[in-house]
Chain A
Amino acid sequence: MNNIYQFLYVEGIPIMVQKRFLTMALALLTLLVVPLTAAQDVPTVRVQMKWVTQAQFAGFYAARELGYWEEEGLNVEVLPGGPDIGPQQVVAAGGAEFGIDWLGSMLASREQGTKAVNIAQIYQRSGMRQLTWKDSGLETFADLRGTVTGVWGFGNQYPLFAALVKNEIDPDNPDDITIFNQPFDMVAFLNREIDSAAAMTYNEMAQVFEYVAEDGTFPVYTPDDVNILDLNEEGTAMLEDLVFVNEDWLAQAGNEEIAIQFLRGSFRGWVYCRDNVEACVDFVLAEGATLGTGHQLWMMNEVNKLVWPSPAGIGILDMELYQQTADIALNYEVISTAPDEGAVRTDLAQAALDGLIADYPDVDFMGMDYEPIDVAITPNGE
């Protein structure tokens, strides 16, 4: 509530005198359509996350906590996401300058007129997997024929669908496969109501291993109990976490520089999280007091595997994977026409990267020798 009082003060209304009218004034303020522009030396920008605070976005929290953006001369506000928060809508409505989204939904929102532009591809590979139980003998996507297969809706089903089609299984034909609309938890898989389940390496997959039986037995399942079917290897993965901006915003004078400054800080944050896994987890935990430590540590480590190595440097989009994602999106009518040239700009990330390499010659921005750490599975991810 602080900034309301500050606002009233800035407007010069003596708060003490107006105390009994203060609440009324607040009510009126909400009706006023007066955008407030505070004169500040340091430009303030906002970045909208795709979900609530978790290690999935740790690099951005690190950039803020370590003052990397400040060093770039930028004041960045990190906005956590949540249900009903679409980063594309927030950025299109001017509620944030930068957004974090997956490539498929970014392309779809661009087609709907949000003018979103991918300016940096943070995750170089996809974290989505299909899990089966080892004792089921289902080891490939082709083996899923005739099974009950769990997938998430909302556009998250297409990488799996593409993998099925590649193996001549028609996801729309119940004689080929039974598609189960999986909720965002692993209960159906754990209860063996479904033969396979979609899982992000950094989240749902860990929940299987972190599971504690009703009688307190732990561990119930280990990585040896499951087959992990990798959509990256199948060649049907769709790219995930990326940074996007609004085309019109980017076209305004000075905003390309701000975008480069933002990316420089962000990239350094992600490098820091690669080299300081536990410190980054602490940044996340400080923000989300209800998150489990063990689970976030697992998530941080898995997320690092999706970012590193970045063969062309962090944030540089692999055009082949971009094409693969766009093709799947087009094929499944996530988009109706192939994305235009303007959907992607790699020059800003390249400029940020080149500048960083020149300024910090000792820092590794490719991570070709990256090695993940070993994370012990904790009961219930605590």
Chain B
Amino acid sequence: MPAQKTSQTTWTLITIASILVAVLLLWEGLKSFSRASEYALALPWGGTLDLSNFNNQQLPHLGDIFGAFLEPAQRNGPPLYVILFRASLFTLSEAVAGFVLGSLLGFVLAVIFTHSSLLQRGLLPYVIASQTIPILAIAPMVVVWMRQLDLTALAVPVIAAYLTFFPVTIYTLRGLTSVSPLQLELMQSYAATRLQILVKLRIPNALPQMFTALKISATASVVGAIIGELPSGIQDGLGGAILNFNQYYVQSPPRLWATIVAAALVGMLFFGAVVLAERLIVRWQVKA
């Protein structure tokens, strides 16, 4: 078994590395090809194909993007990676707060829906409707409301929570209700209370599904936090960095790309943390 596992890990790493190399080759290959054909390719059947999307302005060299991390973002300032690290931590903390808030809300809704089919039928349409409203439309209002309540610091977590509670509700509800009738009857024959059934049967049964939802929520909460920063006027996080590097994109395209890389890393880090928690908590269910 250990040998098999080792070879599996090796193959995973090899696959990840090959995909990375393939992307690098494709990225730089397209760029040098476009440059060689002066960003306009004559097609055999006439006309030209505009390749200007691959110039350094639209698609910087990967080397330049990673080089941008090491260069200062402003004269005499710290290198960009220091600024992005701080911004990432800030955004991650907002995302975690939103993740916790949204997951709790999602869990509570799922428990309510499990025990009241009337509420489930009555409330679920609104829960679903809430997800069809673009977060961009809601975010500015959340900011204004939270400011009026003197809870400005909660605005971004609430926006992130708005994106995260839904998968938790749906997956948890499915997990809580998909217990086998046999087990349910056994519990009932012991005169177990609803709470006991919930804690001893339904929740353990739902845990694998809940973690599936939490993994979706983890990445969604990072997106929610970044979007939430924009109408909040928060400039310390990745949203603020994206906004500024976007405004001054012409002046240094690699910086915006570097910020995108940082945002992706934050999402992956959070996802990884949830996977780790899953392995520790749901040992009996997790396969590979």
Residues of A within 8 A of B (CB): 1-4, 7, 23-24, 26-27, 29-30, 32-36, 38, 49, 52-53, 79-85, 89-90, 93-95, 184-187, 190, 207, 210-212, 214, 285, 287-295, 378, 380-382
Contacts and interface: CB of A to CB of B under 8 A. Distances in A.
A23 B101 contact: yes
Given A84-B136, A85-B231, A293-B75, A187 B250 contact: yes
A89 B149 CA distance: 16
B181 to A, nearest CB: 32
Contacts of A29: 151, 154
Contacts of B150: 3, 7, 35-36, 38
B147 A290 contact: no
Given A185-B247, A289-B83, 13 more contacts: A4-B153, A7-B151, A27-B104, A52-B235, A52-B243, A82-B230, A93-B148, A95-B144, A187-B250, A289-B74, A290-B73, A290-B74, A294-B75
Given A4-B151, A23-B104, A83 B230 contact: yes
A85 to B, nearest CB: 6
Given A29-B154, A207-B251, A293-B75, A84 B104 contact: no
A290 B77 CA distance: 9
Contacts of A289: 73-74, 77-78, 83, 86
Given A89-B144, A295-B251, A382 B154 contact: no
Identify the 5 closest CB pairs spanning chains A and B, nearest first: A84-B231, A293-B75, A380-B251, A80-B233, A36-B150
B105 interface: yes
B160 interface: no
Interface string B48-70: 00000001110000000000000
B257 interface: no
Contacts of A211: 250-251
B144 A93 contact: yes
B149 A27 contact: no
Nearest to A207: B250
Nearest to A296: B74
Contacts of A4: 151, 153-154
A378 B248 CA distance: 14
How many of chain B's residues touch chain A, expressed as a range? 35 or more
Q: Main SS of chain B's interface residues?
A: helix
B243 A83 contact: yes
Interface string B170-181: 000000000000
A174 to B, nearest CB: 25
A292 B151 CA distance: 32
26 contacts: A1-B93, A7-B150, A24-B104, A27-B101, A29-B154, A34-B149, A35-B150, A52-B247, A81-B233, A82-B230, A82-B231, A85-B143, A90-B147, A93-B144, A94-B148, A207-B250, A207-B251, A288-B235, A290-B73, A290-B244, A291-B74, A292-B74, A293-B74, A293-B75, A295-B248, A380-B251
Interface string B71-90: 00111111000010010000
B235 A2 contact: no
A90 B76 contact: no
Nearest to A214: B56
A295 B245 CA distance: 13
Contacts of B168: none
B212 interface: no
Contacts, number: 144
B154 A26 contact: yes
A217 to B, nearest CB: 13
A90 B74 contact: no
B146 A290 contact: no
Contact of B230 (A84, A291, A292): A84
A210 B251 contact: yes
Contacts of A95: 143-144, 147-148
Contacts of B158: 30
A30 B160 CA distance: 13
B94 to A, nearest CB: 9
B153 A3 contact: yes
Nearest to A215: B56
A45 to B, nearest CB: 13
Interface string B203-220: 000000000000000000
Contacts of A24: 104
Interface in B84-138: 86, 93, 97, 100-101, 104-105, 136
Interface string B149-189: 11111100110010000000000000000000000000000
B139 interface: yes
A290 B140 contact: no
B177 to A, nearest CB: 23
A90 B157 CA distance: 20
B240 interface: yes
A20 to B, nearest CB: 11
A290 B241 CA distance: 6
Contact of A290 (B100, B161, B245): B245
B32 interface: no
Of B74, B105, B234, chain A has the most CB atoms within 10 Å of the CB of B74
B34 interface: no
Contacts of A38: 150
B250 A186 contact: yes
A287 B247 CA distance: 16
B235 A287 contact: yes
